[in-house]
Amino acid sequence: MKRCDRLVDQGRRRFLAGAGLATAGAAATTFVSSGRARAATAPAAALVKYPANRLANVKDLRVGEPFDVSYPDENAPGVLLKLGRTVPGGAGPDGDIVGFSAVCPHKGYPLVYSAGDRSFNCPGHYSRFDPEAGGQQIWGHATQNLPQYDLRVDEHGDIYAEGIDELLYGRLSNVI
């Protein structure tokens, strides 16, 4: 995940210097409720119209290797990840392709992928997210789980993102 590593270096330097870093993140997938009991929740609020963007082809992906993308625009970095097993929100023939914003929803630092336990980690304040569990925050400071892309794979293997399930860090509308 070369680009993300670079972003992290950059992020850390700027963090230490107390300066800001231009980042963005993006997008998601909608899932069928598991049906478990849930506390009362706010109604689904303001949604926006998302573009359907081709991000990659399934042939571009290797198991366990993040593939850098951006969605819904070039200022919103994200990753596609082929996990090698069916997971929540997984697209493609094996249900194992997921896409996430690569920006921490806590304070906007770029996330680093750890292949060791397939997690996204934030060097800013140590938050962690699990791409195998819908971007659930394993531990951390964000009040959102990691925004995930709503992915569609067509008959040619092209992977499209068509929506995001949480607000992206640094923008009050996911589509700006």
Catalytic residues: 106, 125
CB of 96 to another protein, least distance (A): 15
Closest CA to 81 of 73, 94, 72: 94
Residue from the set 66, 78, 99, 140 that interacts with another protein by CB under 8 A: 140
Closest listed residue to residue 91, CA positions, set 137, 144, 160, 139: 160
Single residue of 53, 60, 65, 136 touching another protein by CB under 8 A: 136
CA–CA dist 136, 142 (Å, integer): 10
105 in Cβ contact with 146 (< 8 Å) = yes
* List 67, 98, 100, 145, residue binding another protein (CB under 8 A): 145
User: Residue 19 or residue 156: which is nearer to another protein going by CB?
Assistant: 19
Task: Look at the block and give the residue holding tokens 């090698």.
Answer: 84
Out of 11, 66, 78, 92, the only residue in the binding site for another protein (CB under 8 A) is 11
In angstroms, rounded to a whole number, what is the distance separating the alpha carbons of residues 92 and 134? 16
Which CB, 15 or 158, lies closer to another protein? 15
Q: Which of residues 157-176 bind another protein (CB under 8 A)?
A: 164-167, 169-176
